[in-house]
Amino acid sequence: MQIPWEQRFSNQARRMKSSVIREILKHSSAPNVISFAGGLPAPEVFPLEAFKAASELVLEEAGAASLQYSTTEGFVPLREMIAEYSSQFGIRADLCNIQITSGSQQALDFLGRLFISPGDKIVVELPTYLGALQAWDAYGAEYITIPMDQHGMRTDLLEDALKQGPKFIYALPSFQNPSGVTMPLERRQQLVELADRYSVPIVEDDPYGKLRYTGENIPPILVVDQQYRQMSGDEYNGNVIYLSTFSKLLAPGIRLAWVIADKVVIAKMVQAKQGADLHTSTFNQMVAYEVARDGFIDEHNKVIRKTYGERLEVMLAALEEHFPPGVSWTRPEGGMFLWVILPERLDATELLPKAVAIHVAFVPGGPFHSDGTGANTMRLNFSNASPENIRIGIARLGKLLKAELS
Amino acid sequence: MQIPWEQRFSNQARRMKSSVIREILKHSSAPNVISFAGGLPAPEVFPLEAFKAASELVLEEAGAASLQYSTTEGFVPLREMIAEYSSQFGIRADLCNIQITSGSQQALDFLGRLFISPGDKIVVELPTYLGALQAWDAYGAEYITIPMDQHGMRTDLLEDALKQGPKFIYALPSFQNPSGVTMPLERRQQLVELADRYSVPIVEDDPYGKLRYTGENIPPILVVDQQYRQMSGDEYNGNVIYLSTFSKLLAPGIRLAWVIADKVVIAKMVQAKQGADLHTSTFNQMVAYEVARDGFIDEHNKVIRKTYGERLEVMLAALEEHFPPGVSWTRPEGGMFLWVILPERLDATELLPKAVAIHVAFVPGGPFHSDGTGANTMRLNFSNASPENIRIGIARLGKLLKAELS
Q: Are residues A209 and A353 in the same domain?
A: no
Residue B367 sits in a domain of what CATH number? 3.90.1150.10
Q: Is the confidence at residue B22, as pLDDT, over 90?
A: no
A199–B106 C-beta distance less than 8 A: no
* ipTM of the complex model: 0.96
Q: Tens of pLDDT along B32-55?
A: 999 999 889 999 999 999 999 999
- B83 & B229 share domain: yes
Q: What is the mean pLDDT of residues A373-394?
A: 97
Question: Does B94 share its domain with B221?
Answer: yes
User: Same structural domain for residues A217 and A292?
Assistant: yes
- Window 109-128 of A, Cβ < 8 Å to B: 109, 113-117, 120
Tell me the pLDDT tens digit for each residue of B263-279.
999 999 999 999 999 99
Whole-structure pTM value? 0.96
Does residue A28 carry a pLDDT above 90?
Answer: no
How far is A152 from chain B, CA to nearest CA, in Å?
25
| Start-end of H helices in B198-340 | 221-228, 263-277, 282-292, 296-322
| pLDDT tens-digit map of B89-113 | 999 999 999 999 999 999 999 999 9
Asked whether the predicted pLDDT for residue A153 surpasses 70, the reply is yes
The residues in B 220-259 lying below 8 A from A, measured between CB atoms, are: 237-239, 250-255
Q: Between residues 324 and 353 of chain A, which touch chain B (CB distance below 8 Å)?
A: none
Which residues constitute the domain of residue B352? 5-47+298-405
pLDDT band with cut points at 50, 70 and 90 for residue A25: low
Question: Beta strand A152-153 with A202-205: parallel, antiparallel or unpaired?
Answer: unpaired
Segment B322-331 mean pLDDT: 98
Domain C-terminal end among A277, A296, A315: A296
Residue B62 located in a structural domain? no
Is residue B287 domain-shared with residue B320, that is, in the same domain? Answer: no
Amino acid identity, position B217: N
Question: Are residues A256 and A334 part of one domain?
Answer: no
**pLDDT tens column, B193-226:** 999 999 999 999 999 999 999 999 999 999 999 9
Q: With pLDDT > 70 as the criterion, what percentage of chain A qualifies? A: 97
Q: What are phi and psi of A142, to 5 degrees?
A: -115, 150
Q: What is the pLDDT of residue A17?
A: 82
Of A252, A268, A296, the last residue of a domain is A296
Per residue in B126-159, pLDDT tens? 999 999 999 999 999 999 999 999 999 999 999 9
The distance of B200 to chain A (nearest Cα, Å) reads: 7
Question: What local confidence, expressed as pLDDT, does residue B18 receive?
Answer: 76
How many domains are contained in chain A? 2
According to the model, what pLDDT value does residue A18 have?
76
Q: Are residues A237 and A110 in the same domain?
A: yes
Whether residue A252 is preceded by a cis peptide bond, meaning omega within 30 degrees of 0, is no
Q: Same structural domain for residues B246 and B337?
A: no
Residues of B in contact with A19 (CB under 8 A): 274
At A30, the pLDDT band (50, 70, 90 cuts) reads confident
Kindly state whether residue B56 falls inside one of the protein's structural domains.
Answer: no
The CA–CA distances, whole Å, from A223 to A90, A216, A260, B249 equal 6, 16, 12, 45
* pLDDT confidence tier of residue A399, bands split at 50, 70 and 90: very high
Q: Which of B248, B273, B294 is the last residue of a domain?
A: B294
The CA dihedral of B271, A180, A140, A248, to the nearest 10 degrees, is 50
What mean pLDDT is predicted for residues B328-333?
Answer: 98
Percentage of residues in chain B having pLDDT higher than 70: 97
Q: For residues A237 and A357, state if they share a domain.
A: no
Do B387 and B360 fall within a single domain?
Answer: yes
pLDDT in tens, A326-364: 999 999 999 999 999 999 999 999 999 999 999 999 999
DSSP 8-class letter at B139:
T
The yes-or-no verdict on residue A20 having pLDDT over 80 is no
Average pLDDT value for chain A: 95
Residues A23 and A167 in one domain: no
Please say if the pLDDT value at position B28 is more than 70.
Answer: no
CA distances from B328 to B230, B339, B376, B396 (A): 41, 8, 11, 17
Contacts with B, A 362-401, CB within 8 Å: none
A218: domain CATH number? 3.40.640.10
Contact status of A139 with chain B (Cβ, < 8 Å): yes
Residue B31: its pLDDT value, please?
A: 80
pLDDT (mean) for A263-269:
97
Say which residue, A26 or A83, is predicted with more confidence.
A83
Give the residue ranges of DSSP H helices in A236-386: 263-277, 282-292, 296-322, 348-357
Task: Tell whether the model's pLDDT for residue B256 goes beyond 70.
Answer: yes
Q: What is d(CA A116, CA A167) in angstroms, rounded to the nearest whole number?
A: 7
A271, A279, A303: best mutation site toward chain B, by most B Cβ within 10 Å? A271
- Tell me: pLDDT of B24 over 70: no
Instruction: Give burial (CB, 10 Å; 0-12/13-18/19+) of B396.
Output: middle
pLDDT value, residue B27? 64
Tell whether B84 and B197 lie within a shared domain.
yes
